[in-house]
Amino acid sequence: MSSRFLLRVICCVALLIPVVSQAQQTLLNGQFKDITFRAFVTSVESATPYRFYYPPAADTLKVNTSFHEKPLSTVLLDIFKDTEFKFAIDPLNRVFITRGIEIQPELPPGYFGYSSLAKNQDDAALQSFLAGKQRDQQQASLEDKLFIIGSRSAEQKGNPSVAGYVRNIDNGEPIVGAVVMIENPFMGTATDAFGYFSLSLPKGRYELKIKSLGMKTTRRQIMLYSDGKLDIEMKEDIVSLKEIVIESEKDANVTSLQMGKEKLDIKLLKQIPSALGETDVLRTVLTLPGVQSVGEGTVGINVRGGSTSQNLILYNDATIYNPSHLFGFFSTFNPDILKNVELYKSGIPAEYGGRLASILEVTTREGNKKKFSGSGGISPITGRFMIEGPIVSEKTSFILSGRSTYSNWILSQLPNETLRKSAASFYDINALITHQINDKNSLQLSGYFSDDKFKLGNDTSYHYTNRAASAKWKHIFSNRFFGIITGSHSGYDYAIDSKKNPLKAFELSYGISQNQLKADFNYFLDSKHTITFGASSIYYHLQPGTRTASDAQSIVTPVKVQNEQAVESALYVSDRFEVTPKLSLTYGLRYSIYSFLGPKNVYRYLSGVSFNENTIIDTVSYTGHKPISTYHGPELRLAARYALPGAASVKFSYNRMRQYIQMLSNTTAISPTDIWKLSDQYVKPQIGDQISAGYYRNFRSNTIEVSAEAYYKLTKNFIDYKGGATLLLNTHIETDLVSTKGHSYGIEFMLRKLTGKLNGWVTYTYSRSLLQTTSSYTADRINNGRVYPSNFDKPHSLNLIGNYKFNRRFSISVNYTYSTGRPITLPLSRYDLNGAPRLFYSDRNEYRIPDYWRADVSLNIEGNHKIRKLAHSSWTLALYNITGRRNAYSVYFVSQDGKINGYKLSIFGNPIPTLTYNFRF
């Protein structure tokens, strides 16, 4: 601590030259700018015989003064002007600083018969004792000390505000989403992605409460006079391992304005049993109400009846197009560097746009600003490692992590030759640098890369990569106003290489990239209004497919589907309005404008009939970067909360979203070879409206949360496919697509207990997701224009997650999940063709696969709690699918030797034990 302050003094231009006058009184020369009182004391003490004794509260003072040949008393008078502090200097050059009451350093002469007698040794002993105690007590004493915010005499229009950063005391990382609040009357705010908060209150004295997931709740006493700064450091709640998670946002469920938002902290993520021994963000998100997937081997999520491509997945503000590794058994996010995951299902804030169903924000940690540390883990399929530390202490930090699989090695050990020559591997790398330029400016650079390869035997190989980079600059204009400028780049590429037959050898590649620039501003108008506004612009560039001959002998025709490019821009403004302590509103408007740009040759089709290759009548050539088609429209966002008596509230929200890029996939799950398509004159942008309402209530002093949320969603221009559609390398893709109208509705119930030895949640969701083709042409209608269930329509879903903590080292987690089987198209009748039976199928999605249920259990064993040891380790022993139920992953029928046989494929058809070792140092 002390060296830190010393450094600061040097940095802050401190100059102190003692001049000893004849009158035995030390005169000082100095110049101090914005340094703490403590630093001032240190510098005076080092240059003069003065010794200071002062209450911790004095440290809130900022010293801004310069003086020339002045005695200390004059200097102190100047510093303490307009404050409650008083001082006294005794003949032994001891300076006593008090608050409110002035002390007399000396008893009246002759009171005891002798004048003040001080022993220098005692004095030194006292000093060293105080220094030792200081660090331990600092946190506690900070909670009791009164911080003076602003200056008593400052002119202040309206309510003053207090602003600052909330950071982790151990590593200096900002704490995101920490609640800074006063309880009576209830007023509060949450820290942003930089740990920054600003709270506007009437002048006066308050007790601020600061709460955050996994951190010890702390308090600060403030005396608010005018706009001022208060940085707060929080300690990690190491003792209470699990239950903290709940405590921190205990009442957020009821008090927060946001609805349909779920936040998962990494600590929570880590205790959920997983099939492959690795914490998986997306799989945990699947246990939340309203989130489903089509099968257990996939990480694509379906939020409230939306498709997997209607989720905007942001990794430190950069879009991720394919969040899966190894066909979807792993998500692409390395758990070691994650901080938290936020999912918005409804009431989506105006700053987000571009996808209909949800926003999934994945945020990584920033790296330890104080010391180097690392962590890693070994599970049956993957190994991972992470290292973090300061580059410049307190200012700049980095975090770097990598993860890879040894599945290739496993394959090479197998007896089957085909499998030995197969490959399935992936890796990912993450890096992040944060730099605190000064109090007003900070910078964050984030990079991400993932790579997957697989092939069976020496046949076709598949290779895909994700990349994302972002740079974020935050500038604080004033206590009430700050802005963030973010530039990001995202890309996704895949390549298929087939070499088996040299004459037909080919390589097919696909690529999408987007560059985005956005600016977001936040203005705390007063205690009732917080205004956010901003603008963003995305440039998309797609290479929808190129096929080239990959062997000199190959006679494959090279094909290149024309590149596509587009610009999507948006402006938004939103106001969060605390109408009364009971009623708060957020209302905002986002206006997005999209242009599909040339150069491109566009087919024109005969009007009045269904598009197909034979109805192409003309080709129009667009050159340059000129708009071919443009769409724009407003997106209204509304949210309201009304507090009811007894820790309860009702919330309502409405939002409209517009989506200009769609994924084309006629398979049930996300597949690495799915392609994205920009809206053009034939593929209209998707528009979704969602209305939702909910009731929230907490019981037993916020330890038990109950909520119910209902929603209705209407989607326009959702894409489905004609039977037997070809999506890849299709130069006239519009002929294979049909436009549908979607209706989704549902109700979600949640019961959650987040504290105590036993904690966890139970959710039940009833939801439907239905589609209907809108075309007037028979060829473009599915099920003859009737309403049919989407591929991910699973009406009933029940999830239970329970943790029981035996003691600090052992805890057990149980997970149970049930859902209705997904819809499927089944064969209804058979017929013989050339001697072999063939199938005739039902209407699309007329049937369902069997219901799904599964129970898992995991035991977490923490290493001992000695503070000093080489590495802290933990073991997780998990048993996935305890009952070994063979849940159907898919159901299919094949014609084999003249018979029709139906089969059910289960991926995890047996109980799967895994043991994972994690360490951190």
Contact mark string toward other proteins, 388..407, x via CB under 8 A: -------------------x
Where b means 16+ CB within 10 Å and e means fewer, 232-262 reads bbbebbeeebbbbbbbbbbbbbbbbbbbbbb
Residue 307 or residue 655: which is nearer to other proteins going by CB? 307
Site for other proteins in 881-900 (CB under 8 A): 886, 888-895, 897-900
Minimum distance between the CB of residue 903 and other proteins, rounded to whole angstroms? 5
CB of 553 to other proteins, least distance (A): 9
Of residues 296, 428, 452, 289, the one with CA closest to residue 362: 428
Q: Which lies closer to other proteins via its Cβ, residue 729 or residue 751?
A: 729
Q: How far apart are CA 24 and CA 13, in angstroms?
A: 28
Which residues in 492-511 contact other proteins (CB under 8 A)?
496, 501, 503-504
Kindly tell me which of 300 and 335 has the beta carbon lying closer to other proteins: 300
The full 3-state SS of 523-547, as one line of letters, equals EECCCCEEEEEEEEEEEEEEEEEEE
Tokens at residue 160, please? Answer: 């003053």
**Contact stretch for other proteins (CB under 8 A) within 17-25, 348-356, 388-396, 552-560:** 552-560
Stretch 816-835: interaction string toward other proteins, x if CB under 8 A? ---------xxxxxxxxxxx
One of 95, 556, 647, 687 touching other proteins (CB under 8 A): 556
* Tokens representing residue 128 in the block: 């060293």
Give the number of residues written for the chain: 921
CB of 141 or CB of 546, closer to other proteins: 546
Best CA proximity match to 58, nearest among 150, 146, 162: 146
Site for other proteins in 352-391 (CB under 8 A): 381
Interface characters, 81-120, with other proteins (x: CB under 8 A) = ----------------------------------------
Residues 842-861 close enough to bind other proteins by CB under 8 A:
842-844, 847
To the nearest whole angstrom, how small is the minimum distance from the Cβ of residue 671 to other proteins? 5
CB 632 within 8 A of CB 656: no
Question: Which C-beta is closer to other proteins: that of 206 or that of 462?
Answer: 462
Per-residue x/- mask for other proteins, residues 281 to 320, rule CB under 8 A?
-------------xx-xx----------------------
For other proteins, give the closer residue by CB, 371 or 500: 500
Q: Residue 309 half-sphere exposure, CB side, CA atoms within 13 Å?
A: 24
Number of residues this chain uses to bind other proteins (CB under 8 A): 93
Query: Do the bridges between strand 311-315 and strand 358-364 make them parallel or antiparallel, or are there none, so unpaired?
Result: parallel
Q: Which residues of 130-151 are buried (b: 16+ CB within 10 A; e: fewer)?
A: eeeeeeeebeeebeebbbbbbb
Selected from 156, 906, 917, 920, the binder of other proteins by CB under 8 A is 906
DSSP 8-state class, residue 550: -
Restricted to residues 650-669, the positions that interact with other proteins (CB under 8 A) are 666-669
Least distance to other proteins, CB of residue 827, Å: 5
Binding to other proteins (CB under 8 A) within 419-458 occurs at 419, 421-422, 424, 454-458
Q: Which of 903, 905, 901 is nearest to 836 (CA)?
A: 901
Among 122, 155, 417, 618, indicate the residue that binds other proteins (CB under 8 A): 417
- Chain positions 459 to 478 lying near other proteins, rule: CB under 8 A, are 459-460, 462
* Closest of 172, 174, 170, 203 to residue 191, by C-alpha: 174
The distance of closest approach from Cβ of residue 162 to other proteins in the complex, given in angstroms and rounded to an integer, is: 53
Closer to other proteins by CB, 761 or 788: give it. 788
Name the residue nearer to other proteins (CB basis): 49 or 558.
558
- Kindly state the DSSP code that residue 587 receives in the 8-state scheme: E
Q: Are 72 and 78 in contact (CB under 8 A)?
A: no
Q: In the complex with other proteins, which residue's Cβ is closer, 741 or 886?
A: 886
Cα distance between residue 686 and residue 610, in whole Å: 20
Around Cβ 666, how many Cβ atoms within 10 Å? 18
Task: Dihedral sign for Cα 525, 529, 535, 540, please.
Answer: positive
- The residue (of 91 and 902) whose beta carbon lies closer to other proteins is 902
Q: Between residue 786 and residue 805, which ones bind other proteins under the rule CB under 8 A? A: 791
Other C-beta atoms closer than 10 Å to the C-beta of 831 total: 9
Q: Of 462 and 696, which CB lies nearer to other proteins in the complex structure?
A: 462
Which of these segments, 103-111, 463-471, 579-587, 906-914, binds other proteins (CB under 8 A)? 906-914
Which among 85-93, 213-221, 418-426, 742-750 is the span making contact with other proteins, rule CB under 8 A? Answer: 418-426
Contacts of 620 (CB under 8 A, 6+ apart): 601, 602, 603, 604
Specify the residue for token string 């038990």: 704
Tokens of 361: 């924000």
User: Judged by CB, which is closer to other proteins: 95, or 496?
Assistant: 496
Tokens of 880: 């996935």
Residue closer to other proteins, measured from CB, 48 or 842? 842
Minimal distance in Å, beta carbon 302 to other proteins?
Answer: 13
- 616 makes contact with other proteins (CB under 8 A): no
Contact (Cβ atoms closer than 8 angstroms) between residue 51 and residue 41: no
Which is closer to other proteins, CB of 200 or CB of 666? 666
| Termini Cα distance of the chain | 22
Does residue 673 bind other proteins (CB under 8 A)? Answer: yes
Cβ distance to other proteins smaller for residue 710 or 900: 900
Distance between CA atoms of residues 643 and 638, nearest Å: 17
* 3-class SS of residue 136: helix
731 in contact with other proteins (CB under 8 A): no
- Asked whether position 689 contacts other proteins by CB under 8 A, the answer is no
Residue 329 touching other proteins (CB under 8 A): yes
Nearest to other proteins of 282, 496 (CB atom): 496
Nearest approach, Cβ of residue 791 and other proteins (Å) = 8
- State which of residues 907, 917, 919, 920 lies at the interface with other proteins (CB under 8 A): 907
Whether the Cβ atoms of residue 302 and residue 792 lie closer than 8 Å to each other? yes
Cβ contact 14:20 at 8 Å = no
Q: What whole-number distance in Å separates Cα of residue 608 and Cα of residue 583?
A: 53
Which of 707/914 has CB closer to other proteins? Answer: 914
- Least separation in angstroms between residue 413's CB and other proteins is 10
Name residues whose C-beta falls within 8 Å of residue 107's C-beta, 6 or more positions apart in sequence. Answer: 116
**Which span (39-47, 92-100, 279-287, 555-563) binds other proteins, by CB under 8 A?**
555-563
Under the binding rule (CB under 8 A), the answer on residue 409 touching other proteins is no
Q: How far is Cα 854 from Cα 675, in angstroms, rounded to an integer?
A: 32
Please provide the DSSP assignment of 738-765 as one string. Answer: EEEEEEEEEEEEEEEE-SSSEEEEEEEE
d(CA 660, CA 356): 10
Contacts for 878 with CB less than 8 Å, ≥ 6 apart: 273, 274, 277, 856, 857, 858, 859, 913, 914, 915, 916
Q: How far is the CB of 137 from other proteins (least distance, A)?
A: 54
Q: Is 697 helix (H, G, I), strand (E, B) or coil?
A: strand
Pick from 511, 904, 917, 920 the residue near other proteins by CB under 8 A.
Answer: 904
- Considering only residues 188 through 207, tell me which ones interact with other proteins, judged by CB under 8 A: none
Strands 228-229 and 85-89, sheet pairing: unpaired
Nearer to other proteins, 80 or 841 (CB): 841
